[in-house]
Amino acid sequence: MKKYFLFIALLFNILAPNFSIAQDHLTPELLWKLGRLNGGDLSPDGQTVLYTVSYYNMEVNSGNTDIYTYHIPNKKILQITNTPFNEFEVKWAQNGDILFLSPEAGSIQLYRISNKGLGKTQVSAFTGEVEGFVLSPDESKIATLQSVQVKPTLTEIYPDLQKANAHIVDDLHYRHWNQWTNEYIPHIFIGPKNADNLYVDGQDIQKGEKFAGVMLPFGGSEGTCFLNNDQFVYASKKKLGKEFAFNTNNGLYLHDLAKNTTVDISTPNNGYDNAPALSPNGKQLAWLAMGKNGFEADRNVLQVYDLTTKTIKALPLNQDLTVDQFSWKKDGTGFLFVAPFRGVNQLFQSDLSGKVLQLTTGKMNVVHYSEGKDRIILGLQSITAPTDLYSFSKSTKTIERLTQINQELLSNISLPKVEERWVKTSDGKEMLTWVVLPPNFDATKKYPTLLYCQGGPQSMVSQFFSYRWNLMLMASQDYIIVAPNRRGLPGFGQEWNDAISKDWGGQPIRDYLAAIDDMSKESYVDQDRLGAVGASYGGYSVYYLAGIHEKRFKTFVSHCGLFNLESWYGTTEELFFADWDIGGPYWKQENKELYEKNSPHKMVGKWDTPILVIHGGIDFRVPESEGMQAFQAAQILGLKSKYLHFPTEGHWVQKPQNGLLWQREFFKWLDEDLKD
């Protein structure tokens, strides 16, 4: 126990700001100048950490990613690449060189460079665009993700109509998140080296299939692995059209290169199976699995597959946790994994019997980790700190900070104070609420206060550092932020997580009201200057609160929120989500009460408060018509309202200038209603 208190004390000392020199507050412009660190993998000899940093250029409206290393013995950072190209899929080779993909040659090719940044050479001769790669154990073969054409293009169907621009659709799942389904999908190719020792295109192990070799739209090479030089495993949802749209049941497929056979080894599981990882002794394969078909936020459990007996066993964890990312321990005696836990993503370990031990404590999210012999490298972030790398000692359970990539930019920035507050809900439960107080907070003053409504909907309000919904940035504009972990979030047991399904407008909304009402009792909260903001389900929550808040709030901001659940059901794409969380089609008699109870558009007649509506033009999860309907309703009601529309953005705002515009309009709106 003393070791854990020591961990917390050291973490506090590492992160404590120097208030004697702090002068300024975080601004949107400064936020976009921060470097964004990703990765943090130990080299084969355990001496060097490999990571990337991305910086964004507002003038050119794009970002650039370069490769860095941190040498542990001499505590030195070395920039490995400095090019105008984005290096990605950065990995260690067995000999300690660095492998990565880059478009430098005019097409995406594989490169090798020493860990000193010397001797960069192209080591591939691919003919097609490569999106990801994995090497076989002896590095003699490579598996790549490459797009293949699976159906004719419009101009192939009608060669005389070369300028026609249309989509011809005859089945569901014709668009996904922010892209229309087109004629090309990624397949897995496995190839050798040629006579010049270059990796080349190989066999399309899915030849003739119309299914992607990864879990679109976010899956990549992390959903694949070699078992040996002749066997390969990949996660794929081999379904099309309506079958794809209505379920989450995919498979883990083992392809034998010598026999040219493929079998699904994940049956009879009915939900998601993903992230296969081979044990150190090569005898077992583990992966993440969800059991309920159609429930994308089900509990993630570890499945262990014996490659000899071909039997599957679920790891029976002795704690109610859902596994986020995992790996085998280096000695093969169990697993390391990250799981959401009471408002923080923490690192745990488990033996093969399922006995769990929590390794990290404190209030920082573990966003990445890499195990060495005597240490674990951690990527940590918090509400007031972007990601940096730390070294966690296995023996002492203490932590040492390795990088401070934004030290110069943040050295004179006053930090908000983050408090953990437990609020009693309307049904007598205890709810964790993060409260973020402005820099240089003065309890004798009264502050405008924002209720932050989380999206997901099953996504924990953790110690996250966002580049859009940044709670530190909001507090730095002299707002108090109230961020509840309302019903329907992981990290507080599966019952709490599951409670939101088919009850979107019920207890979760009452949880929000409990949080803001509890906070409003504080003398420093100005009850006449309250706002509610959120995106996705959080945007839905804002629309819902607008119809029931009984004068609590003075203004609202909703981004990509669901407004009319009936029209949303008719336009969204992953219908398994709509069926599980909403209840199914609105025209079925048994669902009419659910839509009446849960759809915000049913309460528009009670709207009486200014609202800013924000939406992306290629958001296919929550189509732009939802935002248009809400804005139009507010205009017809004569309410102060504004519609901020991004034609080329999806469910998120990704372009730098769009992101900065978003933040300027966001704070301009809030300041008008809560400060002027």
Q: What is the mean pLDDT of the segment spanning 260-286?
A: 96
Helices 537-546 and 507-519 cross at an angle (nearest 10°) of 70
**pLDDT class of 515 with cuts at 50, 70, 90:** very high
Strands (E), 493-592: 525-535, 555-559
The answer to the question of residue 58 being in a domain is no
Count of the separate structural domains present in the chain: 1
The answer to the question of residue 140 being in a domain is no
**pLDDT class of 19 with cuts at 50, 70, 90:** very low
**pLDDT class of 449 with cuts at 50, 70, 90:** very high
Residue 466 sits at the vertex; the CA angle it makes with 457 and 413, to the nearest 5 degrees, is 145
Residue 178 sits at the vertex; the CA angle it makes with 173 and 179, to the nearest 5 degrees, is 60
The answer to the question of residue 464 being in a domain is yes
Q: Which tokens go with 231?
A: 């066997």
- Report which of 331, 401, 330 is spatially closest to residue 370, judged by C-alpha positions: 330
CA distance linking residue 350 with residue 335, whole number of Å: 5
**pLDDT class of 126 with cuts at 50, 70, 90:** very high
pLDDT tens, residue by residue, 624-660: 999 999 999 999 999 999 999 999 999 999 999 999 9
Q: What integer pLDDT is reported at residue 500 of this predicted model?
A: 98
Query: Residue 578: which CATH number?
Result: 3.40.50.1820
Backbone angles phi, psi at 496, to 5 degrees: -65, -40
Q: What integer pLDDT is reported at residue 128 of this predicted model?
A: 86
Backbone angles phi, psi at 6, to 5 degrees: -65, -40
Element (H, E) at 243: helix 241-246
CA 306 to chain CA centroid, nearest Å: 31
The answer to the question of residue 480 being in a domain is yes
Q: What is the mean pLDDT of the segment spanning 311-326?
A: 96
pLDDT tens, residue by residue, 189-198: 999 999 999 9
Neighbouring C-beta atoms of residue 353, cutoff 10 Å: 10
The answer to the question of residue 458 being in a domain is yes
The fraction of the chain above a pLDDT of 70, given in percent, is 97
- Taking CA atoms, 369 is separated from 251, 333, 360, 376, in Å, by 26, 18, 11, 7
- Taking CA atoms, 368 is separated from 165, 435, 437, 449, in Å, by 43, 25, 28, 33
Residues annotated as catalytic are 536, 619, 651
Q: What is the mean pLDDT of the segment spanning 556-578?
A: 98
pLDDT at 10 over 60: no
Judge residue 204's burial from the number of C-beta atoms within 10 Å of its C-beta, 0-12 exposed, 13-18 middle, 19 or more buried. middle
| pTM, to two decimals | 0.94
pLDDT at 4 over 70: no
How many residues can be counted in the chain? Answer: 676
pLDDT tens, residue by residue, 44-89: 999 999 999 999 999 999 999 999 999 999 999 999 999 999 999 9
pLDDT at 9 over 50: no
Q: What integer pLDDT is reported at residue 216 of this predicted model?
A: 87
Answer whether 302's CB lies under 8 Å from 323's CB. yes
pLDDT tens, residue by residue, 345-373: 999 999 999 999 999 999 999 999 999 99
CA distance linking residue 451 with residue 176, whole number of Å: 30
Q: What is the mean pLDDT of the segment spanning 215-229?
A: 93
- Please list, in sequence order, all residues whose beta carbon lies within 8 angstroms of the beta carbon of residue 440, skipping any fewer than 6 positions away: 414
DSSP class of residue 589 equals: G
Answer whether 450's CB lies under 8 Å from 435's CB. no
pLDDT at 459 over 70: yes
**pLDDT class of 2 with cuts at 50, 70, 90:** very low
**pLDDT class of 570 with cuts at 50, 70, 90:** very high
The CB-based long-range contact list for 110-115 (8 Å cut-off, 24+ gap) reads 110/142, 110/199, 111/87, 113/67, 113/80, 113/81, 115/43, 115/48, 115/50, 115/69, 115/80
The answer to the question of residue 525 being in a domain is yes
CA distance linking residue 247 with residue 653, whole number of Å: 28
Q: What is the mean pLDDT of the segment spanning 452-460?
A: 97
- Please list, in sequence order, all residues whose beta carbon lies within 8 angstroms of the beta carbon of residue 243, skipping any fewer than 6 positions away: none
Q: What is the mean pLDDT of the segment spanning 511-520?
A: 98
pLDDT at 423 over 60: yes
**pLDDT class of 676 with cuts at 50, 70, 90:** confident
CA distance linking residue 663 with residue 28, whole number of Å: 6
Judge residue 552's burial from the number of C-beta atoms within 10 Å of its C-beta, 0-12 exposed, 13-18 middle, 19 or more buried. middle
pLDDT at 14 over 50: no
- Please list, in sequence order, all residues whose beta carbon lies within 8 angstroms of the beta carbon of residue 480, skipping any fewer than 6 positions away: 435, 436, 437, 438, 447, 448, 449, 450, 519, 524, 525
Describe the chain by its helix, strand, coil percentages, rounded to 5.
20, 35, 45
Cis ω for the linkage preceding 217 (within 30 of 0): yes
CA distance linking residue 421 with residue 480, whole number of Å: 13
The answer to the question of residue 10 being in a domain is no
Q: Average per-residue pLDDT in the chain? A: 95
- Report which of 286, 517, 451, 392 is spatially closest to residue 3, judged by C-alpha positions: 392
- Please list, in sequence order, all residues whose beta carbon lies within 8 angstroms of the beta carbon of residue 428, skipping any fewer than 6 positions away: none
Amino acid letter, residue 508: P
CA distance linking residue 365 with residue 379, whole number of Å: 8
Output the CA torsion sign for 476, 477, 478, 482. Answer: negative
The answer to the question of residue 638 being in a domain is yes
**pLDDT class of 218 with cuts at 50, 70, 90:** confident
Residue-range definition of the domain harbouring residue 564:
414-674
Q: Which residues are registered as beta bridge partners of 49? A: 42, 70
Answer whether 433's CB lies under 8 Å from 421's CB. yes
Q: What integer pLDDT is reported at residue 517 of this predicted model?
A: 98
**Backbone conformation region of residue 477, classed left if phi is above 0, alpha if psi is from -120 to 50, else beta:** alpha
Q: What is the mean pLDDT of the segment spanning 119-126?
A: 97
Judge residue 214's burial from the number of C-beta atoms within 10 Å of its C-beta, 0-12 exposed, 13-18 middle, 19 or more buried. buried
Q: What is the mean pLDDT of the segment spanning 132-156?
A: 96
Q: What integer pLDDT is reported at residue 93 of this predicted model?
A: 98
- Report which of 139, 258, 128, 259 is spatially closest to residue 189, judged by C-alpha positions: 128
